[in-house]
């Protein structure tokens, strides 16, 4: 089975304490009972106004994050300059 380079870095959950504002927005996963994913991830940072978790995460739960994948955007080639 082929596993692309960098796959582990995108899929390995990291605890809240490892996040720093230099990482920017990431995917936040709320793991009920420490391992069950019951809800879609939150995309953003703990500095956001709509951050869904105030204070500590509830007992028996774990809040982890994974980086957002870098998706290449298609940029059309610039139009050739007109000659004078």
Q: What's the pTM?
A: 0.68
Q: Which pair of structure tokens corresponds to residue 44?
A: 């953003």
pLDDT at 60: 56
pLDDT of 20 reads 92
Q: pLDDT tens for residues 32-65? A: 765 677 788 899 998 999 888 765 555 556 888 9
- Sequence-distant (≥ 6) Cβ neighbours of residue 29 within 8 angstroms: 13, 37, 41, 63, 64, 65, 66
């Amino acid at each position: 089975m082929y596993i692309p380079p960098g796959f582990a870095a995108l899929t390995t959950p990291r605890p809240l304490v490892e996040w720093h504002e230099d990482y920017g927005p990431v995917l936040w996963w709320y793991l009920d009972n420490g391992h069950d994913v019951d809800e879609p991830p939150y995309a953003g940072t703990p500095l956001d106004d709509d951050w869904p978790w105030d204070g500590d995460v509830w007992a028996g739960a774990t809040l982890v994050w994974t980086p957002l994948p870098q998706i290449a955007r298609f940029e059309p080639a610039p139009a050739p300059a007109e000659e004078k």
